[in-house]
Structure 1
Amino acid sequence: MKRIRNLISVILWLTVLLAAVSCGRLGAVSEKLDVAESLMNARPDSALAVLQGIPASAVKGKKASARYALLSSMALDKNYIDTTTFDILQPAIDYYTQHGTPDEQLRTYYYQGRIYQNQGDDDSAMRSFMKGRDLGKRVTDSLLLAYTLVAQGTLYLKQYKTD
């Protein structure tokens, strides 16, 4: 009987230890994502380096994966690294279009539009920008909303330019 109690005690301690370690890792990933986000506008190269230093296996859960995906897409775009596939952004598209705040949705639609532009698919890019623009009054990131409108205007100009 004493042996069973000792075994149960060991199992409980191991469970607590594993839970503490996994929570610590999730907290570390979240902190690194916070750092990358804070660097994004002023030092996008540093933000990209921070994001590339996070092992994909350390990012757990749909919400964290979506945030990592969106920040990675932002960092690539701000460093003039054009991507033409949705491999990186797709977790953000899947999560934020259904569960995100208006600002997260706008960012997702904007970078989705940028990828479509890189592919040369102006019609799909315009649809993404329009979805973002439709969030208008609910969005607090007015600078990104302005970027979205500029991108949309650039596509209109390209379409109707008659040189």
Structure 2
Amino acid sequence: MMRKYLFIGWAVWMVVILGIISSCSQDKGTSRLAWGKYYLWSAPDSSYRILNAIPFPDKLSVEEQACYALLMTQAMYRCGHKISSDSLINIAVQYYSSQGNADDKASALLYKGYILEDLGQDNEALYAYKQAEEAVKTVKDLRIHFLIYTALGNINGRYAHYEHSLSYYRKALDLNLSVPAWNAMGENIYLPLFIWLRELPVQ
């Protein structure tokens, strides 16, 4: 009988300990999400390493899983990692389509477009970009506006829709982003193009 009580007591303590460990793991995951977001623009490689260290992303809350899916996709893309499927970003797109803020919704749709375009699914990519353009109307972060407009400019340019392409590039140019914002995005490759665009006469 004594052994039975000892076993029950041991089992209860194990459940408590595992619960504490699980709680600590979730707290650590939440903290890493915050740091991953903090470094996303300035040091995407650091953001990727932090996010990749989250041991059990599937144990996060539904909201945190959506955040993880978006941040990890952004970090991977900005680090130049090959993304072979839109399954991860779809978690974020599905969640932010009805919940969360406009920034995350627009970003999720933008990166879905990036992935689809890389996979050769241009029609679907263009649709995602257009959805992102609609969602970005209430977004205050001009960097997201910039990336959406340049994505639309690029894809239209590839199909020789030059009037639409130039229109989107001009929208991006008209944002008048500061030099620190350019540097944070790592988008300096577009700067010569925009300098050239600035010299074009207005139609």
TM-score, normalising length: structure 2:
0.67
Segment of structure 1 superposing worse, 18-27 or 123-132? 18-27
What are the within-5 Å matches in structure 2 for residues 99-138 of structure 1? Answer: 99-138=99-138
Give 1:90's aligned residue. Answer: 90
Alignment partner of 1:98: what SS? coil
Across the two proteins, how many residue pairs are aligned to each other? 159
Name structure 2 gaps, 5 residues minimum. 1-8, 163-203
Match of 1:77 in 2: 77
Q: Which has the higher contact order (CA 8 A, sep 6+)?
A: 1
Instruction: Tell me how large the CA RMSD over aligned residues is.
Output: 2.6
Change (3 A) 1:157 1:62: same
Residue identity over aligned pairs, in percent, reads 21
Q: Which has the larger radius of gyration?
A: 2
Cα deviation 1:6-33 (Å, max 9, x = unaligned): xxx9999887766554333222111111
User: Residue 57 of structure 2 contacts residue 68 of structure 2 at CA under 8 Å; is this kept in 1?
Assistant: no
Matches within 5 A, 1:8-157: 20-56=20-56, 59-157=59-157
Render the CA deviation track for 1:72-122: whole Å, top value 9, x for unaligned.
Answer: 100111011131311322221221112121011011001100011111111
- Give yes or no for contact 1:106–1:135 (8 Å, CA) kept in 2: yes
CA distance in structure 2 between the partners assigned to 1:11 and 1:49 by the alignment: 36
Question: For 1:34-56, what per-residue CA distance to the aligned partner results, in whole angstroms no more than 9, with x for missing partners?
Answer: 11111111111111111111123
Counterparts of 2:153 and 2:57, CA distance in 1: 39
The more displaced of 105-114 and 140-149 is 140-149
Q: Distance in 2 between matches of 1:110 and 1:21?
A: 36
1:26–1:58 contact (8 Å) kept in structure 2? no
